[in-house]
Amino acid sequence: MLRAFERFYEIAEKSVWETPQQIIRTYSNSDLVTCRKQKTSRIVFNIGTNKYRLIVGYYFAPKQTILYVKFVGTHKEYDKVDACKVDMFKRNRI
């Protein structure tokens, strides 16, 4: 499992994207999910020959792309979440 995520990171670290479509072209087994209510989009990556899912939000800054990890889990765990709402690393504010 770890090797699959390391490979994902190696490719992302070297890439410079300006659009979500460029990310999708880099990772052919990924999907762009449009979140109408949030007026944003997320990208779902199939990692490790479809055993794991990675959901990210993104921001295109000058000369860099920032990916915000929203979910990491198995395919089975992914089936239980809403790709547009999940944010498993969000801190709860008191």
pLDDT tens for each residue of 31-79 = 999 999 889 999 999 999 889 999 999 999 988 899 999 999 999 999 9
Across the range 16-44, mean pLDDT stands at: 94
d(CA 72, CA 62): 27
Closest CA to 47 of 14, 1, 11: 1
Give 81's DSSP letter.
S
On the question of pLDDT at 93 being above 70, the answer is no
CB 60 within 8 A of CB 73: no
Between 50 and 84, where is the model more confident? 84
pLDDT score at 79: 95
On the question of pLDDT at 92 being above 90, the answer is no
Residue 41 domain-assigned?
Answer: yes
Residue 10 domain-assigned?
Answer: yes
Residue 94 domain-assigned?
Answer: no
Give 19's DSSP letter.
S
Across the range 2-22, mean pLDDT stands at: 92
Domain carrying residue 18: 2-78
Residue 50 domain-assigned?
Answer: yes
Look at the chain and report how many structural domains it folds into.
1
Residue 45 domain-assigned?
Answer: yes
Radius of gyration over every alpha carbon of the chain, rounded to an integer in angstroms? 13
Closest CA to 72 of 52, 49, 42, 94: 52
pLDDT score at 70: 96
Residue 68 domain-assigned?
Answer: yes
Between 1 and 48, where is the model more confident? 48
